[in-house]
Amino acid sequence: MLSSDAAALAQAIRCGGIGGRHATAVAVVLSFIVACGPGTPPPEAPELRPLPTSELIVPSDNLVMATDATPEPTAPPAAGADCTIRLQRPPRSGCNAIFSLAASATGGGNEAARAGDGSSCTIWNAQGFAPQSVTLDMGTPTRIDVIALVPEMSPDGSVSHEVAFSDDGRAFSTGHRVEAPMRNGEQVELILPRPEKARFVRVTTTKSPSWVAWREVGLFRCGTE
């Protein structure tokens, strides 16, 4: 309202309604008021939306031990022996190793694939203490019955690991854990209480007396399914 009234008064001055020096002064003041009157409000800032995050699946039941009893390690291979990962105590016949097509980890550069290459003579080392994890990708959902863990550690000691599964590599469901003493290079075989079917398998170490490192995280399928 102030701008329109001021503009009308300025027009009256120019048309002779107010004369003399007073008219000139009033016209200048009113012109300033018109120019500085209310303008178009600035545009509102766009709404900022949070970036999407990976889905976290919380297990509905308590985590279960992958074995009923504390798993017993097996001796490491002797120098010059075959390094191919094999089950020492297969739950039944027809167990075959599953090799990962790709791997990723929380540390250790580009060496994560060494944790799932089928050889206990190659090592992935996170170069740091727990928590650390390594994730294996089989390329397609695959049945898993046994997980054979071969640690590289010094000193030996009690460890805690969680095993999680995923079909897309983003949403993982934690299904099993192992809490047991482990020794450097000695294989521990986890016979799952039920078969798991997944494309990705992640082993997360939450407790270890040494840097987290694996000679092998071996995956095995037993049976023909």
Q: Is 218 among the domain residues?
A: yes
222 vs 31, higher pLDDT = 222
Q: Please check whether residues 26 and 70 belong to one and the same domain.
A: no
Question: Is there a single domain that holds both residue 16 and residue 77?
Answer: no
The answer to whether residues 128 and 191 belong to one domain is yes
Tell me: do 77 and 13 sit in the same domain: no
Q: Are residues 31 and 73 in the same domain?
A: no
Note the pLDDT tens digit of each residue in 114-129. 999 999 999 999 999 9
Contacts of 141 (CB under 8 A, 6+ apart): 167, 197, 198, 199
Please report the pLDDT score of residue 65 as a whole number: 64
Same domain, 29 and 87: no
- If asked whether residues 90 and 196 sit together in one domain, one would say yes
Within a domain: 79: yes
Q: Is residue 51 part of a domain?
A: no
Counting Cα atoms < 13 Å in the Cβ hemisphere of 119 gives 12
Tell whether 110 and 7 lie within a shared domain. Answer: no
Q: Would you place residue 173 in the very low, low, confident or very high pLDDT band (cuts 50, 70, 90)?
A: very high
CATH number at residue 135: 2.60.120.260
| 102 phi, psi to nearest 5 deg | -155, 165
Asked whether residue 44 is domain-assigned, the answer is: no
Query: Is residue 31 domain-shared with residue 141, that is, in the same domain?
Result: no
Say whether pLDDT at 172 is over 80.
yes
Q: What does the pLDDT look like over 41-79, one tens digit per residue?
A: 666 766 655 544 445 555 555 566 666 566 777 777 776
Domain that holds residue 29: 2-35
Residue 48 lies in a domain: no
Spatial neighbors of 94 by CB under 8 A, at least 6 apart, are 222, 223, 224
Q: Are residues 18 and 82 located together in one domain of the fold?
A: no
Token readout for 114 is 């060494």
DSSP for the chain, please give it: -HHHHHHHHHHHHHTTSS-HHHHHHHHHHHHHHHHTS--PPPPPPPPP-PPP----BPPSS--EESSSSPPPPBPPPPTTS--B---SS-SSS-EEEE--SEEEESSSTT-GGGGGSSBTTS-EE-SSPSSEEEEEEEEEEEEEEEEEEEE--SS-EEEEEEEEEESSSSS-EEEEEEEEEE-TT-BEEEEEEEEEEEEEEEEEEEE-SS--EEEEEEEEEES--
* % of the chain surpassing 70 pLDDT: 67
Q: Give the whole-angstrom CA distance, residue 56 versus residue 171.
A: 6
Residues 214 and 124 in one domain: yes
Number of domains making up the chain: 2
Same domain as 123, residue 14: no
**Sign of the C-alpha dihedral computed for residues 201, 206, 212 and 218 taken in this order:** negative
In a domain, 49, yes or no: no
40 within a domain of the structure (yes/no): no
53 in a domain, yes or no? no
Q: Do 145 and 183 contact (CB within 8 A), yes or no?
A: no
Contact 145, 222 (CB under 8 A): yes
In this predicted model, which residue has the larger pLDDT, 167 or 108? 167
